[in-house]
């Protein structure tokens, strides 16, 4: 039962690598405050390079439950998660269910908890791209409308919720990914050897990540992006998501041979510390990932978002991120344009203590504050 400062049982639902990063500092602070934190991994990311390595590098205890859902269509994957999460919640009877971000694991956790009347805390609430073609956009909106407490990373996120008449229970706390970067960025510099291993010169390469259907599922779009990367004439480091690698393997063999002979280095997915090192040492980042957009901003590295929009509008408004879509000419123009901000990025994602604020807010959220 939830009662002021009592020790609480919190079930956290995660399933994809960005969620492991967001959850790590929160799990640490929950433990420091004596709360019982239970981690449920849906298995949405099941490759060890996309999952297991993150737990070991970030010092997160192995998940208490791994549902092993794996890949599948949105309906199949989400349905399997719902069944597994419901069984865990009925068995554990938590005081709170934490969900993170905007994946299928997020919406499955929110729906399961909502139907069973367990209070829901949504970390990274209030984001909107206003692109209803993105499955993530539906996940965000529905989760926010299920949640009891909504932890927002930015003022823009708070404003987005207010426009949807969600005010009660919304708190501006900052971004837990920023907490993680502050905690692990120095560790990456101490431990990672990926720059030497790939024979890179700091600030002399472009880093690329691609995984969304918009950029990788249509062969013509994917091959056009890869062609553009080759046209830059620069060293490009491209850690390839397993899903993206499958799509690359389906491209024309002659094209793939030419790609292999180019300056584009297609490498296996990397761990969190190596990724932080690649990000902070790059001169420019090209991505379709929301998390990578933010990490580029945290490190003061210019970023091109290869999508029609960005949910992290603050990174665009401050000049550190440019939304280019997949247009070859627009991408190349921005790759070659050195007119980027010279001052460090402003601290618009909090003070690095979002996790502490989340746990403090939760501890002060009394039984009377629940749904009326």
Residue 3: predicted pLDDT: 42
Topology classification of domain 191-336: Rossmann fold (3.40.50)
CA distances (Å), origin 23, targets 138, 242, 282, 291, 312: 21, 23, 26, 13, 19
pLDDT band at 316 (very low <50, low <70, confident <90, very high): very high
Residue 239: predicted pLDDT: 97
Q: Which two tokens stand for residue 157?
A: 């996120």
Give the count of beta carbons closer than 10 Å to the beta carbon of residue 358. Answer: 24
Average pLDDT over residues 245-273: 95
pLDDT at 313 over 80: yes
Q: Which of 117, 211, 241, 367 is catalytic?
A: 211
Q: Which two tokens stand for residue 146?
A: 């299920």
Average pLDDT over residues 175-191: 94
pLDDT band at 1 (very low <50, low <70, confident <90, very high): very low
Q: What is the pLDDT of residues 246-258, one digit of tens each?
A: 999 999 999 999 9
Q: What is the pLDDT of residues 136-182, one digit of tens each?
A: 999 999 999 999 999 999 999 999 999 999 999 999 999 999 999 99
pLDDT at 268 over 80: yes
The pTM score is 0.91
Residue 295: predicted pLDDT: 97
CA distances (Å), origin 351, targets 171, 176, 274, 276: 15, 10, 24, 19
Architecture of domain 9-175+350-369: 3-Layer(aba) Sandwich (3.40)
Helical packing angle, 328-336 and 219-231, nearest 10°: 30
pLDDT at 47 over 70: no
Half-sphere exposure of 55 (CA within 13 A, CB side): 17
Residue 371: predicted pLDDT: 42
Half-sphere exposure of 184 (CA within 13 A, CB side): 27
Average pLDDT over residues 342-365: 94
CA distance 329 to 139: 33
pLDDT at 367 over 80: no
Question: CATH 3.40.50.2000 occupies which residues in the chain?
Answer: 9-175+350-369, 191-336
User: In what side-by-side order are the strands of the sheet with 264-267?
Assistant: 264-267, 236-239, 206-209, 284-287, 303-305, 321-323
Q: Which residue has the tokens 């640490």?
A: 28
36-41 vs 65-66, strand pairing mode: parallel
Q: Let me know if 211 is a catalytic residue.
A: yes
Residue 2: predicted pLDDT: 41
């Amino acid at each position: 039962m939830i009662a002021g400062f009592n020790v609480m049982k919190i079930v956290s639902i995660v399933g994809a690598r960005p969620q492991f990063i967001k959850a790590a500092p929160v799990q640490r602070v929950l433990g420091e405050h004596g709360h019982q934190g239970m981690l449920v991994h849906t298995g949405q990311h099941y490759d060890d390079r996309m999952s297991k390595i993150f737990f070991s590098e970030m010092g997160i205890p192995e998940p208490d439950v791994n549902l092993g859902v794996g890949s599948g269509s949105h309906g199949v994957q989400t349905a399997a998660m719902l069944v597994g999460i419901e069984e865990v919640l009925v068995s554990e009877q938590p005081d709170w269910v934490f969900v993170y971000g905007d994946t299928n694991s997020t919406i499955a956790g929110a729906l399961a908890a909502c139907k069973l009347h367990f209070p829901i805390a949504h970390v990274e609430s209030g984001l909107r791209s206003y692109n209803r073609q993105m499955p993530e956009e539906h996940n965000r909106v529905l989760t926010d409308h299920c949640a009891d407490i909504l932890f927002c990373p930015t003022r823009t996120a708070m404003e987005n919720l207010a426009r949807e008449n969600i005010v009660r229970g919304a708190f501006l706390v900052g971004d837990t990914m920023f907490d993680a970067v502050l905690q692990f960025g120095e560790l990456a510099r101490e431990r990672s050897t990926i720059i030497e291993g790939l024979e890179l010169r700091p600030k002399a390469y472009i880093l690329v990540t691609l995984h969304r259907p918009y950029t990788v599922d249509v062969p013509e779009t994917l091959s056009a992006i890869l062609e553009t990367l080759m046209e830059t004439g620069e060293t490009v480091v491209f850690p390839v998501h397993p899903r993206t690698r499958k799509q690359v393997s389906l491209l024309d063999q002659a094209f793939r041979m030419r790609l292999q002979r180019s300056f584009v280095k297609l490498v296996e997915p990397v761990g969190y510390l190596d990724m932080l090192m690649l990000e902070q040492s790059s001169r420019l980042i090209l991505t379709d990932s929301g998390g990578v957009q933010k990490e580029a901003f945290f490190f003061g590295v210019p970023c091109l978002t290869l999508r029609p929009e960005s949910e992290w509008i603050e990174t665009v408004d401050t000049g550190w991120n440019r939304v280019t879509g997949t247009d070859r000419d627009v991408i190349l123009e921005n790759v070659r344009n050195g007119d980027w901000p010279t001052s460090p990025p402003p601290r618009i994602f909090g003070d690095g203590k979002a996790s502490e604020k989340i746990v403090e807010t939760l501890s002060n959220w009394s039984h009377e504050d629940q749904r009326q």
